[in-house]
A = this chain, B = another copy of it.
């Protein structure tokens, strides 16, 4: 195989830290990349807002333009790389790039979360490759691994640790006993959490990524707003300490399971065994754990954010899109994505094990009533902790139970009934326990 003389033209929309990293990698690995693609990759245009601002030294002034038409109308540009972020005008620019027959690589998770289906459908119709590895899991090739598995396999279930901010906070709470507010403040001080951390800590960012992962793993079109989503804001150290005694740790998980005609998707904090491969995915690391029907289990973990890891993913996508382009086989990766509609399994119908912490009076018979009520709702107890005695008989004590697998509706009904007891407070803490 000789390397084609005709280069593949690459243009960037945006030149922030990820864009700068992409330019740096493209230039410093030019020979290697040309050998891999079969043609040199040449940068044509870089859309910026400010022509005089300092850029990475590898970025040539002559590429810069403030006019999107210079990029989208450039006949020598084969692949457009969108690293500007935000929903608009990124969406419009990508549509125009697709309409102009250019391959597209994007790292824009916000855009994908909101409009992945539209963009994928549009690109597939036009026979265009739309690659977005960097939009989920930063540098970790989650999409690549899903694609390999899905060439000839199907995904039974998927568990993702996809929000680095939440994972950092939970790691500090679990390992160092910090309270939520303290761990959040620390994450903010270190730049791991935004000033307004809502998107991350309330689980919305994870739900966004879940909708993209569900599209790839299960071929379903799902609105992230419909995914049952809980964040980590209300977690208390006391529960993490009890969990520790059961050899459990807490993780914020994005969970997807294929039930054939229906699909189970949910995003929430959950307890997992310390022996789980997900237990040691700590700090800002992300992970994706999938069970393939033929492949079996497969875990992939690494940095879910950061300029250079993200740039590595973007460049890997550029290589793929450029190769397909050169081979006259563009559009295959996009047309392979299915966008079926399948109903979600309601939360009440899911089945898992549960951690329950009741606050009950330390009086004879309270425990028996709780256990009896759980039993009436089909929930049986696997393990229990009730420590010592309370200081005063009127003071409630924590009663912690781990259940066997049970249906969520049964657990919810039992807790509602138990909360009506005089001897139990209505502040029962429920955490799902996942076998992963």
What is the interface of chain A, defined by CB distance below 8 A to chain B? 1, 21, 25-26, 29, 32-33, 35-38, 127, 139-141, 144-145, 148-153, 275-277, 279-282, 285, 287, 292, 294-303, 306, 308-309, 311-313, 315-316, 319, 323-324, 326-332, 335-336
Measured between C-beta atoms, what is the minimum distance from A28 to chain B in Å? Answer: 8
Residues of B within 8 A of A280 (CB): 275-277, 279-280
Number of copies: 2
Subset of 16 A-B contacts with CB under 8 Å: A25-B153, A25-B294, A29-B153, A32-B151, A36-B151, A141-B148, A145-B300, A149-B312, A277-B280, A287-B299, A296-B308, A299-B302, A300-B301, A323-B327, A323-B329, A326-B327
Residues of B within 8 A of A296 (CB): 139, 302-303, 306, 308-309
Residues of B within 8 A of A298 (CB): 139-141, 300-303
Q: Could you tell me if B302 and A297 are in contact, using CB atoms closer than 8 angstroms?
A: yes
> Taking CB as reference atom, which chain B residue is nearest A327?
B327
Top 3 A-B residue pairs of the complex, sorted by shortest distance between their CB atoms? A327-B327, A298-B302, A1-B331
The A contact surface, by secondary structure, is mixed
What separation, in Å, do the CA atoms of A140 and B329 have in the docked complex? 27
| 13 extra A-B contacts, CB within 8 A, seeds A152-B319, A287-B299, A297-B303 | A1-B335, A26-B152, A29-B151, A32-B152, A33-B152, A151-B315, A277-B301, A294-B309, A296-B306, A296-B309, A299-B302, A326-B327, A326-B329
Residues of B within 8 A of A38 (CB): 329, 332
Residues of B within 8 A of A150 (CB): 32
Q: Could you tell me if B145 and A35 are in contact, using CB atoms closer than 8 angstroms?
A: no
Residues of B within 8 A of A287 (CB): 299
What separation, in Å, do the CA atoms of A139 and B35 have in the docked complex? 27
Q: Could you tell me if B300 and A299 are in contact, using CB atoms closer than 8 angstroms?
A: yes
Residues of B within 8 A of A153 (CB): 25, 29, 312
Measured between C-beta atoms, what is the minimum distance from A321 to chain B in Å? Answer: 12
Q: A298-B300, A316-B151 are in contact. Are A336 and B139 (CB under 8 A)?
A: no
Measured between C-beta atoms, what is the minimum distance from A24 to chain B in Å? Answer: 9
Q: Could you tell me if A21 and B329 are in contact, using CB atoms closer than 8 angstroms?
A: no
